[in-house]
């Protein structure tokens, strides 16, 4: 018995910041940001807004499209590193917002790979037979963790949430295989201290630079391309499918150049990749489920299509899921 994604949803904060807006705050330019990352604008949380509200909105959409109510769920799994509380978990906060019953609700912390990890965890438990219907959420608000005076990170991140409903189902459709990898050895390529403090773009105080996101961008760039390439080959081989059979790649949206380089190395036609980084920036664990939801909306995903999802992020963590849609 496998698990199949039956519906998707997404929600982002209303505040949208363009590269031109950032030009007025930082020593940067639209041309630099666009050519180096592919980002044109991003949605960011304002001071006082809660990411949980957007995660709940994305979840309600997914539930409604699945023809379900929160009461039908057997579990909630959230991929996130942005909970405002050390506890309760983000998933428990979403549970409360949805009015879901006393089912297990848990977080999976894998930074930008959070959704890939959460999907694999939910699929594994569903295969074991314990859950029949699960809500898997990817949500992050890394814009609240940057130093808004550091141009090398402040321009990259956006905030938001995506959600999918998974149902256990016999047959050929669903998650075929997932592969997860991590290397604590490389933790310092991308990290942020857990302080509990937020530093939204409009916050009165600037986040202490020592507590803001630290990133060794160029090194991470090379590792992201290679790790996402390798894990994609591994998951396809493990599932016994050829890369040529993949209909759509939905990668984590960290940098358009990373995505293009990965696709080139895999030898998969660039037309088979879904990107939306231009409008969202890097939304960490939210990027894949937001992209899945947009891909559904754009009619890019048909029944029985072979879909490849992959990501790389802080930890380091990386991984891939191969899905028969």
Interface positions with ligand UT7 (CB under 6 A): 28, 32-33, 36-37, 112, 151-152, 155, 190, 217-218, 220-221, 224, 254-255, 258, 282, 312-313
Would you name the residues annotated as active-site residues?
A: 112, 252, 282
SS3 category, 98: helix
Of 50 and 214, which has the nearer Cβ to ligand UT7?
214
Of 9 and 313, which has the nearer Cβ to ligand UT7?
313
Helix (H) or strand (E) holding 248: strand 248-251
* Cα separation, 221 vs 262, whole angstroms: 11
SS3 category, 85: coil
Shortest Cβ 133–ligand UT7 spacing (Å): 30
Shortest Cβ 156–ligand UT7 spacing (Å): 6
Shortest Cβ 254–ligand UT7 spacing (Å): 4
Of 5 and 256, which has the nearer Cβ to ligand UT7?
256
Q: Are 82 and 141 in contact (CB under 8 A)?
A: yes
Listed in sequence order, the residues at least 6 apart from 27 whose beta carbon sits closer than 8 Å to its beta carbon are 151
Shortest Cβ 45–ligand UT7 spacing (Å): 18
Vertex 161: Cα angle to 268 and 211 (nearest 5): 100
- 């803001």: which residue's tokens? 212
Of 124 and 217, which has the nearer Cβ to ligand UT7?
217
Of 6 and 312, which has the nearer Cβ to ligand UT7?
312
Shortest Cβ 284–ligand UT7 spacing (Å): 6
Shortest Cβ 102–ligand UT7 spacing (Å): 34
Q: Are 140 and 284 in contact (CB under 8 A)?
A: yes
* Cα separation, 289 vs 5, whole angstroms: 11
Vertex 282: Cα angle to 280 and 285 (nearest 5): 105
Q: Which residue's Cβ lies closest to ligand UT7? A: 217
Strands (E) in the chain, as ranges, are 2-11, 16-18, 41-43, 75-79, 105-108, 133-141, 159-169, 174-182, 190-191, 214-215, 248-251, 306-313, 317-324
Of 124 and 221, which has the nearer Cβ to ligand UT7?
221
Which residues on adjacent β-strands are paired with residue 168? 3
SS3 category, 150: coil
Q: Distances in Å between the alpha carbon of 185 and those of 49, 110, 182, 314, 315?
A: 35, 15, 9, 11, 8
């Amino acid at each position: 018995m496998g698990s199949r994604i039956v519906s998707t949803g997404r929600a982002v904060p209303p505040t949208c910041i363009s590269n031109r807006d950032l030009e007025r705050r930082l020593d940067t330019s639209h041309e630099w940001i666009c050519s180096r990352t592919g980002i044109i604008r991003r949605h960011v949380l304002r001071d006082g807004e809660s990411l949980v509200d957007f995660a709940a909105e994305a979840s309600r959409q997914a539930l409604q499209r699945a023809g379900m109510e929160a009461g039908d769920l057997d579990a909630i799994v959230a991929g996130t590193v942005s909970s405002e509380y050390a506890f309760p978990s983000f998933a428990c906060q979403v549970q409360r917002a949805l009015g879901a019953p006393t089912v297990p609700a848990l977080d999976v912390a894998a930074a930008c790979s959070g959704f890939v990890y959460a999907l694999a965890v939910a699929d594994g438990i569903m295969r074991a037979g314990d859950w029949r219907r699960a809500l898997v959420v990817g949500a992050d608000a890394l814009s609240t963790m940057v130093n808004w005076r550091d141009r090398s990170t402040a321009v990259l991140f956006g905030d938001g949430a995506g959600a999918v409903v998974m149902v256990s189902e016999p047959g050929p459709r669903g998650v075929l295989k997932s592969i997860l990898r991590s290397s604590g050895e490389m933790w310092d390529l991308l990290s942020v201290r857990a302080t509990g403090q937020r530093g939204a773009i409009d916050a009165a105080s600037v986040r202490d630079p020592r507590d803001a996101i630290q990133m060794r961008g160029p090194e991470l760039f090379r590792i992201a391309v290679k790790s996402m390439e390798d894990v994609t080959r591994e998951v396809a081989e493990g599932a016994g499918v050829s890369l040529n059979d993949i209909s759509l790649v939905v990668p984590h949206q960290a940098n358009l150049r990373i995505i293009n380089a990965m696709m080139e190395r895999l030898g998969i036609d660039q037309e088979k990749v879904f990107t939306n980084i231009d409008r969202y920036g890097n939304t960490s664990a939210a990027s894949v489920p937001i992209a899945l939801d947009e891909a559904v909306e754009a009619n890019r995903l048909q029944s029985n299509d072979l879909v490849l999802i992959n990501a790389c992020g802080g930890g380091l963590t990386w991984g891939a899921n191969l899905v028969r849609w």
